[in-house]
A and B are shown apart, each in its own frame.
Chain A
Amino acid sequence: MRIASFALRNSKEILRDKLNLVFGLGFPIIVLLLLSAIQANISVQLFAIDHLTPGISVFGLSFISLFSGMLIAKDRTSSFMLRLYISPMKSSDFILGYTLPLLPMAVMQIIICFIAAIALGLTISINILITIIVLIPAAVLFIAIGLLCGSIFNDKQVGGICGALLTNLTAWLSGTWFDLSLVGGTFKSIAELLPFSHAVDAGRAALSGNFNMIFSHLVWVIGYAVVILGLAIYAFTIKAKSDNK
């Protein structure tokens, strides 16, 4: 009951902020439309819809980090959080209460991205459903990044880190806009050490039916998600104590 009540509150807080909806749903779809329009006017296959959609879905998830980070950072600096700290809520109740409402929002965001892609010509197949499932660990990863940032930074810093830095990192280092091999060298090595390109490649493998290629990429995403979620729980617990001093 405790977690459900808190999760419901967090859903309402996020969904009632219209900017969240505009950026979370609108921006990835606009990018998808824009790049598809570019593709229609060039002869090379740069932004093919089946290649682009998993990337845009992962890029869209970076906004979920922004929502979760902003919500926690704002809560942490408010007297409302003091009320919750005095209540019988435990750290695990807080983390689950923040994570649970964001997961269906993230999945819904991926689904809407795929619906837009189908309208732009993506072939309907069972692989779309498999891709959505394969992208769920990436959704958890981005939620965890938001939880971690919101636990450490204030809301202005979260706006900068998750709103500007993370969206750009996801955009450039995920291989969504261009093939990482085109740049190569250190850039490619760094990108491959981070989870973003692996999330996109796992999605692309699922969508193209290369199922044997999924796990080698997904293991990076799951590994990062577990570690960052653990760090977020630790950071939240520590900051909860120091915020009250």
Chain B
Amino acid sequence: MTAIKTLNLTKKFKDKTAVKNLNLEIKENELFSLLGVNGAGKTTTIKMLSCLIKPTDGDAYIFDKSIVKDDYDIKQFINVSPQETAVAPNLTVEENLQLIAGIYGNNKEASRKKVSNIMNSFSLNEVAKDRANKLSGGYQRRLSIAMALISEPKLLFLDEPTLGLDVLARRELWKIIKKLKQNITIILTTHYLEESVAFSDRIGIMVKGELKIIGTADEIMKKAGKDNFEDAFIALSESEAV
């Protein structure tokens, strides 16, 4: 089944076109990395797909629901782990998870079960009663992703999930992302190219608001005529950036 299908998706801010005629299809349970240098249009694309902003032109279908017409329906089955850790600072880990479970319509009993399950999966039990603002960066990011998953989304946006984490915390999160793969559709944005190569089924590179190339890491390297992905990324990004 198709998870995301965009049709000439376009977003303009006054005179500036942030995303131009984006045509993209992502399959269910695929892990898709959306890459690009700063200002390439990744964030605007994610904001449109997560129904935060409306497109200027075109449309996108998330599990056959239009982001223009059916945004309320779409919000029931998507979730996001934003780049900056998105937690309620004065609530404990357990309370943060209960809050999100409640916001997605779970009653007390259902919330309790889901919170217990997700705390086990994310090894959060030892900090369950700690306030979020007292957690280390690694735990905060882990909580932030757990909060995105407690609603059991069909589509998850992971925006720079390992940014600013030390090497141990990054490795821990990698394990979690690997576990999630194949059970949920994930759109990953990251500046760590090795992460996208290691985890992604396919990668799309955006340059100046347009999708420059799409394919597996090997396909992209081959098309760019480079031996490693970083060189391929730079070559493709610079080819349109001048």
Chain B residues with CB under 8 Å of A9's CB are 88, 91, 95, 99
Among the 9-residue stretches A11-19, A46-54, A187-195, A217-225, the one with 4 or more Cβ atoms under 8 Å from chain B is: A11-19
A6→B103 contact, CB < 8 A: yes
Chain B residues numbered 104-125 whose CB sits less than 8 Å from any CB in chain A: 104-107
Chain A residues with CB under 8 Å of B91's CB are 9, 12-13
Among the 9-residue stretches A28-36, A77-85, A160-168, the one with 4 or more Cβ atoms under 8 Å from chain B is: A77-85
Bound: A88/B65 CA distance, A: 15
User: Could you say which interface size class chain B belongs to?
Assistant: 35 or more
Chain A residues with CB under 8 Å of B52's CB are 82, 85-86, 244
Main secondary structure of the interface of A (DSSP, over half): helix
B98 in the interface (beta carbon within 8 A): yes
Bound: A2/B52 CA distance, A: 19
For residue B86, which residue of chain A has the nearest CB?
A79
B107→A1 contact, CB < 8 A: yes
Closest chain-B Cβ to A104's Cβ sits at a distance in Å of 19
Total number of residue pairs linking A and B with CB closer than 8 Å: 82
A5→B53 contact, CB < 8 A: no
For residue A7, which residue of chain B has the nearest CB?
B102
B72 in the interface (beta carbon within 8 A): yes
B90 in the interface (beta carbon within 8 A): yes
A1→B75 contact, CB < 8 A: no
For residue A5, which residue of chain B has the nearest CB?
B102
B82 in the interface (beta carbon within 8 A): yes
Main secondary structure of the interface of B (DSSP, over half): loop
A1→B105 contact, CB < 8 A: yes
A87→B86 contact, CB < 8 A: no
Query: Number of A residues whose C-beta is below 8 Å from B?
Result: 25
A83→B82 contact, CB < 8 A: yes
Chain B residues with CB under 8 Å of A86's CB are 50-52, 75, 78-80
Bound: A85/B91 CA distance, A: 19
Closest chain-B Cβ to A164's Cβ sits at a distance in Å of 24
Chain B residues with CB under 8 Å of A89's CB are 103
Chain B residues with CB under 8 Å of A13's CB are 88-91
Bound: A63/B98 CA distance, A: 29
Chain A residues with CB under 8 Å of B78's CB are 86
For residue A88, which residue of chain B has the nearest CB?
B75
Bound: A1/B103 CA distance, A: 7
B31 in the interface (beta carbon within 8 A): no
Bound: A86/B103 CA distance, A: 11
B90→A16 contact, CB < 8 A: yes
User: Top 8 nearest A-B pairs by Cβ distance?
Assistant: A5-B102, A79-B86, A79-B84, A79-B82, A88-B75, A83-B86, A244-B52, A16-B90
Cβ contacts A to B, 29 pairs, < 8 Å: A1-B106, A2-B102, A2-B105, A5-B101, A5-B102, A6-B103, A8-B99, A9-B88, A9-B91, A9-B95, A12-B90, A79-B84, A80-B87, A80-B88, A80-B89, A82-B82, A82-B86, A83-B79, A83-B80, A83-B82, A83-B86, A83-B147, A86-B75, A87-B79, A87-B103, A87-B151, A88-B75, A88-B103, A244-B52
